[in-house]
Structure 1
Amino acid sequence: MIHVLKKSFLLLIPVGLLLGSCNKDEQTVAPTDDNEAITTATLTLTNKALPGDIVTATVENLNTTADFSKATLTLTANATYSGVVSLLDKTKTPTLDATEEIREKLNEHLFVYTPSTGLNLTVTNTDKDTNPSPGPYSVGLTFEVVTKAASTGTLNVVLRHQPNVKNGTAAPGSSDLDTKFPVVIK
């Protein structure tokens, strides 16, 4: 009887060690806050004076050879547009709406819209996050574009990923997206 108990006890030791080590590993796993995977960026601009005048531009395949065939924004001179950006990750099945992930983490993201030299337009972000004072800070999922005289150039769109460091500037963090949309103002 003692022999059987001894064998049972010896079998329990490795099982206990195994269970204990599994539990310990689970506790040491640190969460990560990785950059968003983005394959497609679309800008949709609506002329505020002519709501039927909607301009859409899309850059595809951002993770490989970018396709700019549908990326040109053709805008009217001296006009004001309301804009939205949408982002997709087509490497996932089904396609992942990265815009929703950014919306869920507004406090960690900032879109920076920069027109090239000579392009007669300005962009202002119109949405804010919920960061405490000195925030809230702008996000840029929605924005306003004001065009001036006819010109051509590019609009650089950068999405900054700024977990725990967002301060209202583009400097901290890393880039989830950095692409340029050709722009023609007529």
Structure 2
Amino acid sequence: MKLNRKLAYTLLIGMAALFTQCKDSGENLTPDDENELITSVILNFKETGSGAMSTFTFRDPDGDGGNAATKFDTISLKANTAYTLTVEFLDESKSPVVDITKDIEEEKEDHLLIFTASPASLLTYSYGDKDKNNFPIGLLGTATAGAAGLGKLKVQLRHQPGTKNGTAAPGSDDVQLDFNLKVK
């Protein structure tokens, strides 16, 4: 009887230990899905044909909140002209300055740039880069200015970790800026 009781206790303790064992340390980790700190956005428009470069910048050295932006250029483009558009993102709150563009390139499956002109006739954008899943990225593309007019160009960098599907819907904004747009 004593042997049966000892065996039962041993089995009970063994079963309890089996169900309460430590899990693999990586099993419950969640990826770091925080948005990047971006203090500067630089839009480089290179005119097709002439190669003339125009650069327009948004700069807010202390990031969102706090002090107002120190630079927010108006984008000025020639009517009915195509441009190669490249975009750069910086975190100038650190020394040395961190080039966030490189991080976006490395994590391109998690990012999507969206360019929305208002009115839509002022500018159209075609993506020139894609990630390994064949979804657009937007760090390189073609911007074509339409007829002369005034409006806005919304620039959004969507952070879409694990949810990117080629649309703006999933994720959150790392950047959302409304540049004034002048097509002349």
**TM-score band (shorter)?**
0.7 to 0.9
Q: In the aligned structure 1, how far is the partner of 2:92 from the partner of 2:146?
A: 35
Residues 110-157 of structure 1, C-alpha deviation per residue, up to 9 Å, x if partnerless? 0010001265211112100012xxxx1000001111112111111100
What aligned pairs does 1:108-147 form with structure 2 within 5 A after superposition? 108-117=110-119, 120-131=122-133, 136-147=134-145
Q: In the aligned structure 2, how far is the partner of 1:33 from the partner of 1:120?
A: 34
Q: Give the corresponding residue for 1:163.
A: 161
How many residue pairs are counted as aligned between the two chains? Answer: 157
Q: Give the corresponding residue for 1:63.
A: 64
SS of the residue 2:114 aligns to: strand
What aligned pairs does 1:9-158 form with structure 2 within 5 A after superposition? 27=25, 30=29, 31-51=31-51, 53-61=52-60, 62-64=63-65, 65-69=68-72, 71-117=73-119, 120-131=122-133, 136-158=134-156
Instruction: Report how far residue 91 of structure 1 moved.
Output: 1.3
Q: Could you tell me whether the CA contact under 8 Å between 1:119 and 1:154 is conserved in 2?
A: no
Percent pairwise identity: 37
Q: In the aligned structure 1, how far is the partner of 2:148 from the partner of 2:128?
A: 24
Instruction: Report how far residue 93 of structure 1 moved.
Output: 1.6
The answer for unaligned runs of 5 or more in structure 1 is 1-23
SS of the residue 2:103 aligns to: helix
Residues 152-181 of structure 1, C-alpha deviation per residue, up to 9 Å, x if partnerless? 111100000011100010000111000011
Instruction: Could you list the structure 1 runs, at least 4 aligned residues long, displaced by more than 4 angstroms after superposition.
Output: none
SS of the residue 1:115 aligns to: strand
The answer for unaligned runs of 5 or more in structure 2 is 1-21
RMSD: 2.0
Q: In the aligned structure 1, how far is the partner of 2:104 from the partner of 2:139?
A: 9
